[in-house]
Structure 1
Amino acid sequence: MIIAIDGPAASGKGTLARRIADYYHLALLDTGLTYRAVAYEMLQRGWPLDDEAHAIAAARQVDLGALDRETLSAHEIADAASKVAVIPEVRRILVEKQRAFARNPAGAVLDGRDIGTVVCPDADVKLYVTASAEVRAGRRLRDIESRGGRADFAEILADIVHRDERDMGRADSPLKPAADAHLLDTSEMGIEAAFLAAKAIVDDALAKRDKA
């Protein structure tokens, strides 16, 4: 069982992916962390984010077993990751690593921007999780404040809209729902409601597979 979960920033797909992976006892990979790992290495070494040679070298060194969510969750790293993610060779290297992870015999959940369309186009279940930009900005603001930080809603909203445009408009593997993805709008859903909706979709896929 491979479950692909795609969607824009702060849509709730990461939290949902963790709930699903825990419930079905599947390995989990937040593919966004792989791009953040490349960006983190670039920032740590002072390399320009548009330096393709160094970005490619950083991508080759990414270890899926050593992705530190806490370190890689910083806002500046997320923004930088969106910039290195437009480099085609970086995407090719990381996609191969992600596909290798998905071949876990016990099954896997992968969340990101292009799982259902590029990384795992044959996934058993594809979910595209979204929410309005305003709702996502509010979530991001609450998350920052819960960590003791301070931020401006208008700035966060502008950043989310800009990232959406960059992710959806890139030539290589743009953010978009797969043709056979189940759309899940979480604008007015809490995590429990979103999980139950996703669980119903997964359970239906499992039932159909068992009958086949």
Structure 2
Amino acid sequence: MSNKKIIIAIDGFSSTGKSTIAKQLAKHLNYIYVDTGAMYRAVTLFAMKNNYINNQSFNQEKLISNLNSVQLNFKFNANLGFAEMFLNGENVEKEIRTIEVSKLVSKVSAISEVRKKLVSEQQEMGKEKGIVMDGRDIGTVVFPDAELKLFMTASADKRAKRRYKELIDRGDKVNYEEILHNVQERDHIDSTRTDSPLTKANDAVEFDNSDMGLEEQFERIIRLVNDHI
């Protein structure tokens, strides 16, 4: 394999398994993996902890004026094989994956000032290449010149079932209808927001994995990667 390093941008709807495939690719290629969704979730958690946002209200001005107090870092966990999200020095990896955060993250992600801050941090991370990044606007905004762009999609029902299983396996008390509603609502907010809406880049390869196993998906994607390297 050549030692030419590339940027792999993975976009798509929530719960399409973007991070799963991104982690697999990063491990296989010995690349750095960046979960941008975790960054938006961490900002959401910050807003929740400071009472700027809840299910009823959202004080956007307060969040915007306090964005400088948000320090985000990824720290590699050798036992897990991937980097965990730290917010102001505290490991928040488990806290940011709750349904409570999932319900509010699209609203926080729609704020232009939040996107501006995180996009500039993400672009900084990709300067050396050799990176796999997943999110909603990686191929369109963060790395429009990425050598390989993937756009992940799957039916809302399939995605809600995956998310439900993931949360139940973790020991969370959730119900399927709530998860499905959350998936559909996030799709709507992500696709219709004015700043960097979720759209497929013209040169992205679309991947519908509704009926695809992880192994088949990985094999097909690694072939694409090898073509680009």
Task: Please indicate, yes or no, whether the TM-score normalized by the shorter chain is above 0.5.
Answer: yes
Note the residue ranges of structure 1 that are not aligned, 5 or more in a row: 207-212
* 2:17 alignment partner, one of 9, 12, 15: 12
Question: Contact 1:36–1:77 (CA<8 Å) still a contact in 2?
Answer: yes
What is aligned with 2:114? 90
Deviations 1:173-199 (A, max 9, x none): 001110000011110111111111111
Structure 1 position 172 matched with structure 2 position 181? no
Higher strand share: 2
C-alpha displacement of 1:48: 3.0
SS at match of 1:111: strand
SS at match of 2:10: strand
Determine the C-alpha separation between the residues in 2 that align with 1:137 and 1:3.
Answer: 26
Cα 1:3–1:57 change in 2 (3 A) is farther
Q: Percent identity?
A: 38
Structure 1 vs Structure 2 CA RMSD: 1.5
Structure 1 position 149 matched with structure 2 position 165? no
C-alpha displacement of 1:79: 2.1
How many residues are aligned here?
205
SS at match of 1:110: strand
TM-score (norm 2): 0.85
TM-score (norm 1): 0.91
Determine the C-alpha separation between the residues in 2 that align with 1:191 and 1:94.
Answer: 29
What is aligned with 2:71? 62
Determine the C-alpha separation between the residues in 2 that align with 1:165 and 1:140.
Answer: 17
Note the residue ranges of structure 2 that are not aligned, 5 or more in a row: 1-5, 76-84, 86-91
* 1:51 alignment partner, one of 56, 59, 70: 59
Counterpart of 1:56 in structure 2: which amino acid? I
Cα 1:58–1:108 change in 2 (3 A) is farther
Deviations 1:36-56 (A, max 9, x none): 111111111112363233323
Counterpart of 1:40 in structure 2: which amino acid? L
Q: Which runs of 4+ in 1 moved over 4 A?
A: none
Superposed, which structure 2 residues align to 1:1-212 within 5 Å?
1-48=6-53, 50-60=58-68, 61-65=70-74, 67=85, 68-103=92-127, 105=128, 107-206=130-229
Determine the C-alpha separation between the residues in 2 that align with 1:108 and 1:54.
Answer: 33
SS at match of 2:194: coil
